[in-house]
Chains A and B, each alone.
Chain A
């Protein structure tokens, strides 16, 4: 699976959009981009995933560049409860989805 690079930490004001970038320049054609988050001391939580097209669900939007070498997770109206470590993961569409978590981005939403 391709490696991902994320900033170590980011701050965001409550109520504003949080934009979390991820670089995955070695992504291959059959690899998806997944985003999970881990709120302190809890298990990771799935947020969203995509292959080529931009995706949106009730939690977030995922913007993938045309060359698929980077992506951005957008939390449209961040709340204090969104403070967490956000992981960008690239995983192939093989027979078993083996998620390899990196160090992630610590997002702190400020009041």
Chain B
């Protein structure tokens, strides 16, 4: 069973479109995260939710909006996609907000044309 899963694995879309990436964890964890890995391979945190409550919100354009319908899911919606949004987006989860270990999903490679 996959612990942290993301859909889709690949996403190719045109500039200006709106798209969503879904993340689900079956570990019973309270905390979930979104990270972005750019073309230079730097991995940066974007958001974190704990029990559906936003606890980390880094300097990310307003076009990015996370939504957590329940603590097992954290989706990322992106409006008006731009070329610079092309990256690999990783979802992660941890037992709680202070837990030492984060478990990462396989990533979603977003390409904006």
What residues make up the interface of A, taking CB atoms closer than 8 Å to B?
32, 34, 38, 41-46, 49, 85, 87, 93-104
Contact = CB atoms under 8 A, between A and B. Distances in A.
Interface residues of B, number: 25
A96 B50 contact: yes
A42 B104 CA distance: 9
A99 B45 contact: yes
A31 to B, nearest CB: 12
A46 B104 CA distance: 9
8 contacts: A44-B92, A44-B102, A46-B101, A93-B98, A95-B55, A98-B56, A99-B102, A100-B45
Contact of A49 (B43, B56, B100, B103): B100
Contacts, number: 59
Interface of B: 4, 31, 41-45, 48, 50, 55-56, 90, 92, 94, 97-107
Main secondary structure of the interface of A (DSSP, over half): loop
Given A43-B90, A43-B104, A44-B104, A97 B41 contact: no
Main secondary structure of the interface of B (DSSP, over half): strand
A49 B92 CA distance: 17
Contacts of B41: 85, 103-104
A103 B99 CA distance: 23
Contacts of A49: 100-101
A97 B102 contact: yes
A96 B97 contact: yes
A32 B107 contact: no
A42 B97 contact: no
Contacts of A99: 45, 102
B100 A34 contact: yes
